[in-house]
Structure 1
Amino acid sequence: METDRGVVLATERYGSAESWKYFAKDEVMERRRDGREGESRGNSIVGVFKTVFLPQGYPESVSDDYLHYQFWDTLQAFSSSLSGTLATQASLKGVGVGNQEATVAAATVTWILRDGTGMLGRILFAWHKGSKLDSEAKKWRLFADVLNDIAMFVEILAPYFPAFFTLIVCTAGVFKSLVGVAGGATRAALTVHQARRDNMADISAKDGSQETLVNLAGLLVSLMLIPLVTDNTILTLSLFFLFTVLHLFANYKAVRSVVMETFNEARLSIVLQQYVRDGQILSPLEANQREPVFFELRKTVPIRLGVRLQEVVQSPEELNLALKENNMPYLLGVRNGCVCVCLGPEASVRDEIRAMCQAVWLSNTLSPPTQQQQSPWEIVHESHKLMDKIFNPFLKGVEAAGWDVKRTLLDWDEWRVEWKTKTN
């Protein structure tokens, strides 16, 4: 190919950001950029910013919701930084900074107690809720930020109750320890979602750079705020509530902007119910927009996945009932107000999705708890027949709609059971 610049020898590009051509003219090779000049990655202000703060290969190397999420995440981090300054000032005042009668030993003991209770809270929370943080990352991310704001509010009020100051700051320390576990774990879960080239480390590093820049900006603003709020309770509380409202709003928008293509219980339930109702398959965007991001008082029969055999059946007769109409590597039963699923060791991800679909249908059918005309086992048998009829077209539909069915975020426990196909 020959142009007025010479013969085109080669072309190269840097993702979707830059495109270059090599020309040969008068036995000299020259490299020229396609399109507008002066926007090369690393050779302009915008280019330097992208290199420093965005993952390599952006936007192809991250999920489509990355930029929207990071915008709101940056805004919430900035407002949280300012709220944290007000809380820190109150804590320092409470332990005696500026008070000649306060002792270093008393302040140190208070700080040690706060940190110690926080460490215990971190261990207990990770033990009790660790497995839930992947499957319900949005809810726990929002929970962490709400709890963080509550902890900072408690710290601001602590100096006004000197008799209970140590108890109050220890309580705030426990809250913040829960925030650390839930916030850190859900951030990791969201990073897995955003990483489209196995580039989790790069995304995490750049997220850290973004947060550091925001905290630096918050530090500069805080330096201007501190002289204004010192010994001014009304202004301190007013600014805190302003920053808290901004923080919670930004967090809500951030989790709402995340569009996950893998099924958890909530997203699968939303898609399945829509399909059973009118045959429509919701896209990941539509289902994520309907997914609840706040914890709710459960209105449906709870579902327990991967339980022990005795939590599904408790006699040979019940095992035969569980196997009736069922040729799948899982057993379902209704016991103690829960839909329980017992999984076989050979079950695939497809089987897990089908079992969850069946459990969701059972849960919705049995909710709210009313006087049932049929026995629970009869309803279980109906669910097997329904899945035999609808599951294959449903699975093809969700794959075509863009859902990832090769893995799930369903909250399975580790019990796996092998059973006889028939008992006497």
Structure 2
Amino acid sequence: MELVDEAAVLATEKYGSQETWKYRLKGDVINRERQADGSSRTGGSITGAFKSIFLPQGYPESVSDDYVEYQIWDTLQAFSSSMSGTLATQASLKGVGVGNQAATVAAATVTWLLRDGTGMLGRILFAWLKGNKLDSEAKKWRLFADILNDFAMFIEILAPYYPPMFTLIACIAGVFKSIVGVAGGATRAALTVHQARRNNMADISAKDGSQETLVNLAGLLVSLVLIPLVTDNPRLTFALFFLFTALHLFANYKAVRSVVMETLNEARLSIVLEQYLSDGRVLSPREANPKEPVFLEWRKEVPIKLGVSLRELVTSTQDLQLALKHHHKPFLIGIQQGCVSVCLSSEASVADEIEAACQALCLAAVMKASPPPPQQLRQLALAKGQDPWVLVSESYKFMDQMFPAFLLDLEKAKWLTDRTLLDWNEWRVDWRKKMS
């Protein structure tokens, strides 16, 4: 008969990285012993209870590495926005007649309804025009939404000082805030997709809501002290508003800068490709993300259009013959009116999409007046002064040599290559491989 050592460990278990337990046999009883310090999931300590309430289950393994830094800055910006919003709300109430015996309920109601109505229309229009951009440029639109929100609150504070224009100003602010609601909510969802590491988007979103509610509660308590001080004191109102706005914008800038996304959009792909063409090194996501621009660019020197209709690429049979010359890819690239356009085949894979975007970026770099293209593109630049189709044909040859190794290096650098955030339109073209 085999004897069991009473000191022997029968089993071990752990709860994420927070705590570890061991089961030991003592006589006929199995004892459970904690082997590492950590907060109990059941709320055995204040820290454990706080994590359980406000952080996603499985933290930190269940979220991205940039989660904590982003949430710290996001919390600070939410508090600042809450305080600015209090000042703006006070101004709005004053503008519709709260405290004014001459004001009527009907007039205030009409103003409020007009503001809400124009805001609803603005929400629909913005989602229609820019909804497809919010995934590919989440950082830019996140920061844009917060800047626009501050501007909307600023004109709300100004509105009571221009009584004849109050309704118009309130409607304009309503439109701006509706845009903020769409852009802010959509980009927050895009960032939640990035942060979720265990298909736990709903949990992260719910805990983010809890964090924001806690911050708003803190802002409410501070507002109770602040409101009596700023009432009928416009100088202090504006001074505090600009202070909170500056803090809000700074925290938002730091928040979007802290995000390290592993999916490729046009900006990140351009940064990585430029470095690769310069010295053959592929930047990791943590190296490339800080270089990504976070402010919207309203006009590019050489625009790139991905997934366009064939009619934007060719205008004649001759153009189509030139586009297909020496061609074996599931995409077509052309240069029309200073713009690089890409037609995508329905057979194209994600790797083909990345290659097409890389080729378009190379062509755009060659076509720019400044700065000069990277060293590896100098040979391609020699065809710049010739017919655009010659330049396109040479770019296919260049990509055949460069792209296979580049794609492998992307995967080694921990970039996701099974999906992208490239801003592809929905056009897909199937063309004849040979033309008589």
Please tell me the TM-score bracket, short chain as reference. Answer: over 0.9
Distance in 1, Cα, partners of 2:241 & 2:178: 21
Distance in 2, Cα, partners of 1:278 & 1:300: 25
3-state SS of paired residue (2:315): coil
What is aligned with 1:166? 167
- Report the residue type matching 2:115 in the other structure: R
What is aligned with 1:63? 64
Distance in 1, Cα, partners of 2:319 & 2:111: 58
1:225 maps to 2:226: yes
Distance in 1, Cα, partners of 2:6 & 2:161: 76
Shift of 1:423: 1.7
Change (3 A) 1:378 1:46: same
What is aligned with 2:363? 362
What is aligned with 1:390? 402
CA displacement 1:7-61 (0-9 Å, x = unmatched): 311110001111001111121111111123x732321100000000000000110
1:300, 1:364 within 8 Å by CA — same for their partners in 2? no
3-state SS of paired residue (1:19): strand
What is aligned with 2:340? 339
CA displacement 1:147-169 (0-9 Å, x = unmatched): 00000000000000001000001
What is aligned with 1:422? 434
Distance in 2, Cα, partners of 1:265 & 1:259: 15
- Report the residue type matching 1:244 in the other structure: T
1:353 maps to 2:354: yes
3-state SS of paired residue (2:97): coil
- Report the residue type matching 1:419 in the other structure: W
Distance in 1, Cα, partners of 2:181 & 2:4: 60
- Report the residue type matching 2:419 in the other structure: R
The 10-residue stretch of structure 1 (322-331 or 178-187) with the greater mean CA deviation from structure 2: 322-331
1:299, 1:368 within 8 Å by CA — same for their partners in 2? no
Distance in 2, Cα, partners of 1:209 & 1:358: 45
Map 1:84-233 onto structure 2 (within 5 A).
84-233=85-234
Distance in 1, Cα, partners of 2:4 & 2:413: 45
2:272, 2:288 within 8 Å by CA — same for their partners in 1? yes
Change (3 A) 1:288 1:3: farther
CA displacement 1:84-129 (0-9 Å, x = unmatched): 0000000000000000000000000000000000000000000000
Distance in 2, Cα, partners of 1:141 & 1:218: 22
What TM-score comes out, normalization by structure 1 length? 0.97
Distance in 2, Cα, partners of 1:235 & 1:99: 22
Change (3 A) 1:310 1:232: same
3-state SS of paired residue (2:168): helix
- Report the residue type matching 2:408 in the other structure: K
3-state SS of paired residue (2:8): strand
What is aligned with 2:419? 407
What is aligned with 2:380? none
Structure 2 unaligned regions, length at least 5: 373-382
3-state SS of paired residue (2:173): helix
Shift of 1:338: 1.2
Distance in 1, Cα, partners of 2:211 & 2:195: 16
1:90, 1:156 within 8 Å by CA — same for their partners in 2? yes
- Report the residue type matching 2:204 in the other structure: I
1:325 maps to 2:326: yes
Distance in 2, Cα, partners of 1:19 & 1:148: 46
Distance in 2, Cα, partners of 1:299 & 1:121: 26
What is aligned with 2:378? none
Change (3 A) 1:103 1:4: farther
CA displacement 1:223-271 (0-9 Å, x = unmatched): 0000000000000000000000000000000000000000000000110
Q: CA RMSD in A?
A: 1.6
What is aligned with 2:390? 378
CA displacement 1:169-207 (0-9 Å, x = unmatched): 100000000000000000000000000110000000000
Shift of 1:5: 7.7
Distance in 1, Cα, partners of 2:39 & 2:431: 65
Distance in 1, Cα, partners of 2:292 & 2:157: 34
Shift of 1:422: 2.0
Map 1:40-59 onto structure 2 (within 5 A).
40-41=40-41, 42-59=43-60
Shift of 1:6: 2.7
1:7, 1:25 within 8 Å by CA — same for their partners in 2? no
Shift of 1:297: 4.6
3-state SS of paired residue (1:388): helix
Distance in 2, Cα, partners of 1:402 & 1:252: 25
1:29 maps to 2:30: yes
Distance in 1, Cα, partners of 2:4 & 2:81: 56
3-state SS of paired residue (1:6): coil
Distance in 2, Cα, partners of 1:333 & 1:235: 58
Structure 1: which 4+ aligned runs deviate by more than 4 Å? 2-5, 369-372
What TM-score comes out, normalization by structure 2 length? 0.94
Matched-pair identity in %: 71
2:114, 2:171 within 8 Å by CA — same for their partners in 1? yes
